[in-house]
Structure 1
């Protein structure tokens, strides 16, 4: 979608704090605040049931910005973060864009939820704000760029694994959001092509319990119960499956891969399921430096999605430097032309047609005795 307007990019500000980090002086020794900062927004669920993901996302960007400002910023200007809390709620999608416009942000890292992104990613582009999206649904392709896996890169990993453990039937418990329905449909079609019966049961995301939905699924005598949900729902499903003492295998999709999932259900129940997704940063080859820096900055281990927002920020800084400007058209072109960028999650190259990451990391995961998501051997 072609943008109709471009937001003014400069916002004068005094010396500022980014979380626990002070913005460093820009290149050339000028004092912080003497030049206009480059404003980037981070849209994430910073409150609500998915806040552990959102806070990790924000910390990833804060770390990248602190490091970049310590090197003199970008194009001789410090970088400033604006936090936008969408609460994982599509009702806040357009209000989030308004906040980014009011802050004069030149780029947005986020949103995380595809149900939010299908509403507001086009609005960001219309406002002249470059999106580095964290959405996975196919409907969000073509709106900016992403460093994380898309549904088109998730289902091809899920299908052969599920076909190896399901002889006859997979029952899917599906949250009605954009991402969860899209991945369930694509994976389901792939399994049906392999001769496996697939049944979908739609969930009410506001339900306090999914015991009845799990009982309905188990009554169909499945080999696998597949949870296409976000982790707050997935915890209830995993607990209900464990309580049912069933022989049906538990499989959780990408959006359940969250340290809070393990904390809520306990290591034993978490180990009873397998997962599609990406592991915490410590599992990525070459991410040791990022993990150490994250722990030093925040006093805790990084979760999954902060490593991708960290890389999104690196990509954005690299694109600005290559473009020599923060202007929308030139910056967008530079983002889409990214090739061979080294990040915490591996080497990043962007497909300029879709904005998707080429060869995005995606694995089948298990949970180890320490409660960490690890790549299944």
Structure 2
């Protein structure tokens, strides 16, 4: 009987200790706010992903320096989704168990996969960079973005080409992703509407780039004066190099997926003259100067979406603070009602979760760097088609 009693006592002690551990864990959880950030931190987009994480880190550090969210410390969870939708799902399921809000994902295909989890689990998610319209068009209450949409930038690019390259003969290429294909289609739809002409070529490339030479041969046969590419900088750089190597003199136009310092480095001289849509120069925003200074002091060169990532984190934390609760539905409802002070000025969301204002302008590669192009510049004549060889 003595042995049995001691064994029972030990088991009871273990149960009590485990219970105390859970109580302590819950108590600690009640004293902190957990923010997740998901981006590609390995692979060819690792630098872009790190730029996003750094922007979020800066915002979290600033909030914690001021006492956190209503006195609760903000803890940051960083996850590598590898730019892969399947891995993004894994990350989302993990964050749904541990995070009160999420900044992410970087790529539209990853975000489109992950929002199904965040919406179901009622986790507020704010993407800094996913521009596919379907991210917010699905109508999920807890899903937001702080950047623009592909239908906006596709329309801006089409108008620019129609105005500045009258009589242009256009070839359209995409990378088969939900981001690249949607952007290319938005450009083509608007270009055809504005000019009442059809594309001279429409095709796609694989993200491995293995079929780029074959596609470029077909593009050259079509003799375009403008090539529009919907996709990311790694494939964009390879594509423009192949076009130039095979004597195609068409202007190369793309979207925000190619406005990256790595595009400049990879494309080299072949990238000169490339046109890409993006927002007006962030460096000149009066409301962003203090954040820009702090970011550069801590992390160096500003990435294209660093400021957006800072903004997304600011939106998430402001929503948690203003709502006065970590309940995701209440946080989302709060964000739909309030204006948030951001480096881009006061940001208010529409019924879908998009910012009410997000203008696009054109940038051009000149002298190995991106330079904002005045939209009111006088139109330039379309380049003469290259002779087929």
* TM above 0.5: yes
Q: TM-score, normalised by structure 2?
A: 0.83
Residue 131 of structure 1 corresponds to which residue in structure 2? Answer: 125
Shift, 1:41, TM fit = 0.6
What does residue 239 of structure 2 align with? 237
Aligned pair count reads 344
Question: 2:276 — aligned with what?
Answer: 275
| Alignment-derived partner of residue 3 in structure 1 | none
1:204 pairs with 2:206: yes
1:182 Cα offset (Å): 1.0
Structure 2 Cα separation of the partners of residues 83 and 166 of structure 1 = 47
Q: Deviations over 1:243-300 (max 9, x none)?
A: 233321111212111111112223x3333211112366324443222221111112x1
CA distance 1:34–1:155, change in 2 (3 Å): closer
* Change over 3 Å in CA distance of 1:190–1:251 after alignment to 2: same
Q: Per the alignment, do residues 127 and 163 of structure 1 end up closer, same or farther by CA in structure 2, a change over 3 Å counting?
A: same
Q: Is structure 2 residue 55 aligned with structure 1 residue 54? A: no
CA distance in 2, matches of 1:368, 1:13: 55
- The equivalent of 2:171 in structure 1 is 171
What is the RMSD computed on CA atoms of the aligned residues?
A: 2.2
CA shift, 1:11, in A, is 9.6
Shift of 1:92: 1.0
Task: Pick the aligned partner of 2:373 from 354, 357, 376.
Answer: 376
Cα distance change on mapping 1:151 and 1:283 into 2, 3 Å? same
1:1-377 matched pairs, under 5 angstroms: 12=25, 36-102=31-97, 104-133=98-127, 134-141=129-136, 142-143=139-140, 144-164=143-163, 165=165, 167-193=167-193, 194-198=195-199, 199-208=201-210, 210-266=212-268, 268-278=269-279, 281-298=282-299, 300-339=300-339, 341-351=340-350, 353-369=351-367, 371-377=368-374
Equivalent pair of 2:205/2:211 in contact (CA under 8 Å): no
Retained in 2: the 8 A contact 1:39–1:106?
yes
Distance across 2 between alignment mates of 1:155 and 1:34? 44
Structure 2: 5+ residue runs without aligned partners?
1-22, 375-389
Q: Which secondary structure state, in structure 1, belongs to the residue aligned with residue 222 of structure 2?
A: coil
Contact kept in structure 2, 1:75 and 1:320, CA below 8 Å: no
More helix per residue: 1 or 2? 2
Q: TM-score, normalised by structure 1?
A: 0.85
